């Protein structure tokens, strides 16, 4: 049965973290807003990505930290209790139920329509509802596409018959496999290899290229590879999968070097593709299946009257929850300003633009050691035309780090723009660095001059003293 058409100021397709944030902004600005969700309110992040993966990884990091402390190490020498770790992970996903998130939508007076949304011409969204009906929604001011991504899979014959793991199975599996092959060298690959190795699987990581975490400073991937190997995982570089066959409980994996492997499960962590294939983009003159190109207010380019926005993973600017939510806040504010005929502050770092996406994106990789980085790597800064100086420091020489754990191994780098004497990138690798990253984000996004950073005194004896050491090294 088809419901009567409804009109709202703003229609948001996708209730992941980004859609929720954008809708919250437009609603708070007084615009009537409806959210369309085809699966679970909360999106990939809450159920098959950030939250469950970090719930799996937190005990791994806590145990690794305890094992570096005499007096404590012996009491954590045994294996993790995988059943308890998986149960806590289940709790963090609310057992894959979204009642809590729906209650939040209700509490802030956002309407929800469940079903698959698709565009049907300018400002029109049709929702195919689970009961087989449709709901037609019309947007007075804006439609915001926040539909996220799904795991990409390589084109290998018979792959579906193998029932490979993607990020979904890697974050939701209820049993620890005896052995797991992980294909890929990005963030999903290294985090999930770390988690499942610690939970008791024998993990082999197959990397097509020559490094892990290729978009970060090279020492990050090198130290994470060392950490994985020390944890007992095998990490192989320069190798590609050419065939996969499931034989009983095992997957047989053929490699381009002529070798073969068998394992209980195979995880493909080879990147993402956008949820735009079945979104009706053809009805508004765009090609289905691609990433949506936006300006800094997250308005999709080349759409007459500028009614279409895209925020979060689907615009491919930065595939991270925190950055997508930031885009959602900025796009929500821009939609509200335009709807009210108020000026749009779209100068760099203005109130309606996601300027930080260009050079101040932070990321933490929750491996052992952790990686925390913001802004540009040295290579990216040079390619972008900055005249830079790279300052490195061995974090083992920081008092707070040596107190944090025996045999502390870590490294930090700051990339200084010599013409402006500000930082354009900072990377920390080591245990416990995840909470340091925001200090670097403030320095990079705030374009704080080095002369003023000298007055930001880190507390003694914390790992934050790495800041003083980096600045001293820079000044000689
Ligand atoms: C394993 C893993 C771990 C990660 N860990 C982190 C981390 O620690 N930190 C971090 O910052 N990022 C992390 N990420 C990235 C993060 O998950 C994404 O950046 C984030 O989920 C993007 O949010 P989004 O709202 O754009 O999309 P999503 O979270 O994908 O939400 C999109 C929503 O839209 C819905 N939808 C799609 N199409 C339609 C349609 N046609 N109609 C209606 N609804 C639709 C989907 O069902 C979904 O609910 C991780 C990713 C993975 C895979
Ligand atoms: N802690 C975090 O912030 C976090 C955690 C997980 C994921 N994420 C985000 O999710 C996104 C997706 O992560 P991801 O690791 O899936 O993607 P990615 O793009 O980061 O890495 C993909 C990896 O797969 C390799 N690859 C691509 N095609 C391949 C093929 N056919 N065969 C073998 N290898 C191949 C690439 O060389 C690369 O090493 C990332 O952008 C990341 O930022 C963030």
What DSSP string runs through 53-119? HHHHHHHHHHHHHHTTSTTTGGGG-S---HHHHHHHHHHHTGGG--HHHHHHHHHTT-EEEESEEEE
Same domain, 139 and 174: no
Same domain, 166 and 145: no
- Please tell me whether 271 is known to bind a ligand: yes
The domain that contains 220 carries what CATH number?
3.50.50.60
Does 54 map to a domain? no
CA gap 128, 286 in Å, rounded: 21
Same domain, 298 and 325: yes
This model of the complex carries an ipTM of 0.98
pTM recorded for the entire structure: 0.98
Same domain, 432 and 347: no
Output the tens digit of pLDDT for each of the chain's 476 residues: 678 889 999 999 999 999 999 999 999 999 999 999 999 999 999 999 999 999 999 999 999 999 999 999 999 999 999 999 999 999 999 999 999 999 999 999 999 999 999 999 999 999 999 999 999 999 999 999 999 999 999 999 999 999 999 999 999 999 999 999 999 999 999 999 999 999 999 999 999 999 999 999 999 999 999 999 999 999 999 999 999 999 999 999 999 999 999 999 999 999 999 999 999 999 999 999 999 999 999 999 989 999 999 999 999 999 999 999 999 999 999 999 999 999 999 999 999 999 999 999 999 999 999 999 999 999 999 999 999 999 999 999 999 999 999 999 999 999 999 999 999 999 999 999 999 999 999 999 999 999 999 999 999 999 999 999 999 999 99
Burial 171-191 (b: 16+ CB within 10 A, else e): bbbeebbebbbbbbbbbbbbb
Q: What is the pLDDT of residue 2?
A: 77
CA gap 270, 152 in Å, rounded: 6
- Give the Å distances, CA to CA, from 200 to 116, 126, 156, 226: 39, 47, 28, 18
Does 66 map to a domain? no
User: What sign has the CA pseudo-torsion 372, 375, 378, 383?
Assistant: positive
User: What sign has the CA pseudo-torsion 164, 91, 325, 437?
Assistant: negative
Angle between the N-to-C axes of helices 50-66 and 187-198, in degrees from 0 to 180, rounded to the nearest 10:
50
Does 115 map to a domain? yes
Q: What is the pLDDT of residue 440?
A: 98
Please give the tally of structural domains in the chain. Answer: 3
- Please tell me whether 380 is known to bind a ligand: no
CA angle 46-280-276, nearest 5°?
Answer: 40
Dist. CA 366 → ligand 1 center (Å): 18
Q: What is the pLDDT of residue 3?
A: 81
The minimum-distance atom of ligand 1 relative to the CA of 17 is 25
Last residue of a domain, one of 322, 357, 392: 357
Same domain, 23 and 143: yes
Dist. CA 374 → ligand 1 center (Å): 21
Last residue of a domain, one of 313, 334, 357: 357
Dist. CA 55 → ligand 1 center (Å): 17
Same domain, 254 and 287: no
* Ligand 1 close to Cβ of residue 414 (< 6 A): no
* Ligand 2 close to Cβ of residue 361 (< 6 A): no
Q: What is the pLDDT of residue 1?
A: 62
- Please tell me whether 185 is known to bind a ligand: yes
Helices (H) and strands (E) in the chain, counts: 15, 21
- Token representation of residue 246: 């499931």
60 prior amide bond cis, ω within 30: no
Q: What is the pLDDT of residue 429?
A: 98
Same domain, 122 and 11: yes
Burial 436-469 (b: 16+ CB within 10 A, else e): bbebbbebbbeeeebeebeeeebeeebbbbbbbb
Same domain, 116 and 260: no
Closest-CA residue, ligand 1 atom 9, reads 50
Same domain, 254 and 182: yes
Same domain, 382 and 464: yes
* Ligand 2 close to Cβ of residue 371 (< 6 A): no
User: What sign has the CA pseudo-torsion 448, 453, 457, 460?
Assistant: positive
Last residue of a domain, one of 332, 357, 382: 357
How many Å separate Cα 432 from the centre of its chain?
Answer: 19
Does 89 map to a domain? no
Do 433 and 403 contact (CB within 8 A), yes or no? no
Does 56 map to a domain? no
CA gap 94, 202 in Å, rounded: 28
Quote the domain boundaries for residue 176: 152-270
């Amino acid at each position: 049965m088809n419901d009567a058409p409804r009109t709202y100021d703003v229609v948001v397709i996708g209730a992941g973290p980004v859609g929720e944030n954008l809708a919250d902004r437009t609603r708070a600005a007084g615009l009537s807003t409806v959210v369309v969700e085809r699966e679970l309110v909360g999106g990939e992040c809450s159920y098959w990505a950030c939250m469950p993966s970090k719930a799996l990884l937190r005990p791994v990091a806590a145990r690794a930290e305890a094992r570096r402390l005499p007096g404590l190490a012996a009491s954590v020498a045994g294996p993790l209790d995988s059943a308890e770790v998986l149960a806590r992970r289940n709790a963090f996903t609310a057992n894959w139920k979204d009642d809590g998130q729906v209650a939040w939508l209700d509490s802030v007076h956002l309407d929800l329509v469940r079903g698959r949304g698709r565009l049907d011409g300018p400002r029109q969204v049709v929702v195919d509802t689970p009961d087989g009906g449709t709901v037609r929604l019309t947007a007075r001011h804006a439609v915001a596409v926040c539909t996220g991504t799904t795991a990409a899979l390589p084109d290998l014959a018979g792959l579906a018959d193998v029932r490979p793991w993607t990020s979904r199975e890697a974050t939701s599996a209820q049993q620890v496999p005896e052995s797991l092959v992980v294909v890929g060298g990005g963030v999903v690959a290294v985090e999930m290899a770390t988690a499942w190795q610690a939970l008791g699987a024998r993990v082999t990581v197959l990397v097509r290229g020559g490094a892990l975490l290729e978009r970060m400073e090279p020492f990050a991937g090198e130290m994470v590879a060392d950490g994985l190997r020390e944890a007992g995982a095998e990490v192989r570089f320069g190798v590609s999968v050419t065939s996969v066959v499931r034989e009983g409980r095992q997957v047989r994996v053929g490699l381009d070097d002529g070798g073969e492997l068998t394992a209980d499960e195979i995880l493909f962590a080879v990147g993402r593709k956008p949820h735009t294939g079945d979104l009706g983009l053809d009805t508004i003159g765009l090609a289905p299946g691609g990433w949506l190109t936006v300006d800094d207010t997250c308005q999709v380019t080349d759409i007459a009257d500028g009614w279409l926005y895209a925020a979060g993973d689907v615009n491919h600017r930065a595939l991270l929850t925190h950055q997508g939510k930031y885009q959602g806040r900025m796009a929500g504010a821009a939609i509200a300003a335009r709807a009210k005929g108020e000026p749009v502050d779209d100068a760099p770092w203005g109130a309606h633009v996601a300027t930080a996406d260009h050079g101040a994106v932070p990321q933490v990789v929750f491996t052992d050691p952790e990686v925390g980085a913001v802004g540009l790597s040295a290579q990216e800064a040079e390619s972008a035309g900055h005249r830079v100086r790279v300052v490195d420091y061995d974090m083992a020489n920081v008092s707070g780090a040596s107190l944090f754990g025996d045999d502390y191994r870590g490294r930090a780098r700051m990339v200084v723009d010599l013409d402006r004497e500000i930082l354009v990138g900072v990377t920390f690798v080591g245990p416990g660095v995840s909470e340091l990253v925001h200090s670097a984000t403030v320095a990079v996004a705030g374009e704080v001059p080095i002369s003023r950073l000298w007055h930001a005194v880190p507390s003694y004896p914390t790992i934050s003293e790495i800041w003083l050491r980096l600045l001293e090294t820079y000044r000689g």
